[in-house]
Amino acid sequence: MARNQLGVLTALDAAKTQWYHFTAIIIAGMGFFTDAYDLFSISLVTKLLGRIYYYVEGSTKPGSLPPNVAAAVNGVALCGTLAGQLFFGWLGDKLGRKRVYGLTLMLMVVCSLASGLSFGDSPKGVMATLCFFRFWLGFGIGGDYPLSATIMSEYANKRTRGAFIAAVFAMQGFGILTGGIVALIVSAAFDHAYNAPPYDVDATGSTVPQADYIWRIILMFGAVPALLTYYWRMKMPETARYTALVARNAKQAASDMSKVLQVDLEAEEEKVEKIGASSSNSFGLFTWEFARRYGVQLLGTTSTWFLLDIAYYSNNLFQKDIFTAIGWLPKPATMNAIHEVYRVARAQTLIALCGTVPGYWFTVALIDYIGRFTIQLMGFFFMTVFMFALAIPYNHWTHHHTGFLIMYSLTFFFANFGPNATTFVVPAEIFPARLRSTCHGISAAAGKAGAIVGAFGFLYASQSTDPSQTEAGYPPGIGMKNSLILLGGINALGIFFTFLVPESKGKSLEELTGENEEEADEIQPPSSSQTVPV
């Protein structure tokens, strides 16, 4: 038999949309703005790093990062992110969401600044410094995933909870867009100031010494938005669900939420003690009871996020290589180093503006109407369709760049109006409060494992099958066409694993997790009562 819900949690579930909701979205969302800026801005400058530090005298091609260096530069932040998601996800359940929230942000600020610095000016010194600080930058970014998602889900009302969590995540789109805009502004200013010749006219003169400042400025700018929101993060109270259900401090939960909601709430200490003492709220993560109740859901959230990120990060981190392969970007030898940064940034900004940003906000607008399950299933389906539409007639698109750009933008649109948003939202809703941050961290870490597979795998797989056409130092791969077909197949797998994920629309967090049930043996595993829209 279900207990009566705690008054403070009922008040949160029923609260009308208020100013504090938007404040929480902005405070948590600016962390994700910074996350996306930091993770994806590296793709804007990798070609420049190759020209500056790996130029070979007399070569017909501009310098490029060797395979092992390129893999490290692109992937090391993702490795840090995976570690941070697991560590801070666990820590958020042990110490509280707020206590570790500021730590992740300060780590991002310090490491963003440090990424633009280097020990010495040799290629090894610069790359080692860059990789070291980007790992710890990723570690801080990783902590932002479970903490921001959990905080927003526990602050939100049940009617618009999906939209609020999705809005936090949607700030990623603005971070990606801002990265492109900053790179455009910086590269345009330097290109105007130092009018260098193209590489095929003057190989040495095409990369002016001042170009070394460009990548440093772009990477260091990531510290600005994080620093601006640090004070407000520290002012946020701990969530009532953590304080009441995990810390079991009814008085503090009522006091905090009375200020936030501007209503008088009673401290139900006896009820909190009963909930905490129940056997239904005592089992741990590595137990058969957890596996019975939540194992299927955890498999669903981890597998779908893993599959999504293989495709999503492959596309995002290597847009410049895809655009070059189809001929939308000029051959590197026909540009100077600074102008190449400008052209890459312009292409990525256009994709973000046309596909990435709108997709996020379609999810925000519709997730609480059509549901998480429908959006995720639809997103994976259309990502599969458009990826195959790009890959199968690949040779046709090399001569029709506008058509390719439209189709490619649509894959990003349906990733973000689809699983890229829902895989973030759902793990913050369907697990109990004392394990919510941990389970979200595990799900997100599975996603980053997929991103690492995409970052390293696509780099090699997309190389031409013709050894004479590969980038310097790379073995032949399966080619861009076959790589895109492979990504389409991965998206198709995501469709099937989506059926393991429950629909959480319109339910309170305690309804979804069974935390307000009387006895453990009366609770049915949440997976058995999934409502899957058809």
Which pLDDT score, from 0 to 100, does residue 149 have? 93
CA-based nearest residue to 6, from 196, 216, 240, 227 = 240
Give a yes or no: residue 2 inside a domain: no
Which CATH number is 182's domain given? 1.20.1250.20
Give a yes or no: residue 235 inside a domain: yes
Range of the domain at 37: 7-274+287-510
CA-based nearest residue to 93, from 138, 35, 12, 151 = 151
Considering the chain, what percentage of its residues have pLDDT values greater than 90? 49
Average pLDDT, the chain: 86
**How is 328-359 classified by DSSP, letter by letter?**
SSPPGGGS-HHHHHHHHHHHHHHHIIIIIHHH
Give a yes or no: residue 185 inside a domain: yes
Q: Which two tokens stand for residue 24?
A: 């929480």
Q: Locate all alpha helices (DSSP H) within 159-287, ordered by sequence.
A: 161-193, 212-220, 223-235, 240-241, 250-261, 269-277
Residue 463 or residue 334, greater confidence: 334
Number of domains in the chain: 1
Which pLDDT score, from 0 to 100, does residue 516 have? 63
Give a yes or no: residue 282 inside a domain: no
Q: Give pLDDT tens digits for 212-261.
A: 999 999 999 999 988 888 888 888 888 888 888 888 888 888 888 888 77
Q: Are the C-beta atoms of 392 and 439 separated by less than 8 Å?
A: no
Give a yes or no: residue 515 inside a domain: no
Q: Which two tokens stand for residue 405?
A: 């750009």
Residue 337 confidence (pLDDT) above 70: yes
Ramachandran region, residue 152 (left: φ > 0; alpha: ψ -120 to 50; beta: rest)? alpha
Contacts of 248 (CB under 8 A, 6+ apart): 272, 273, 276
Cα 316 from Cα 234, distance rounded (Å): 32
Cα 433 from Cα 61, distance rounded (Å): 55
Q: Which of 53-57, 75-79, 83-87 has the highest mean pLDDT?
A: 83-87
Q: Which two tokens stand for residue 133?
A: 């600080």
Give a yes or no: residue 475 inside a domain: yes
Give a yes or no: residue 422 inside a domain: yes
Which pLDDT score, from 0 to 100, does residue 231 have? 85
Against a cut of 0.85, is the pTM above it? yes
Unique residue bearing structure tokens 């993770």: 39
From residue 369, how far is each of 149, 164, 198 by CA, in Å?
20, 13, 53
Give a yes or no: residue 519 inside a domain: no
Cα 338 from Cα 199, distance rounded (Å): 11
Q: What is the DSSP letter of 147?
A: H
Q: Are the C-beta atoms of 504 and 426 separated by less than 8 Å?
A: yes
Contacts of 345 (CB under 8 A, 6+ apart): 44, 180, 181, 183, 184, 187
Q: Give pLDDT tens digits for 131-154.
A: 999 999 999 999 999 999 999 999
Q: Are the C-beta atoms of 238 and 256 separated by less than 8 Å?
A: yes
Q: HEC string of 449-504? A: HHHHHHHHHHHHHCCCCCHHHCCCCCCCCCHHHHHHHHHHHHHHHHHHHHHHCCCC
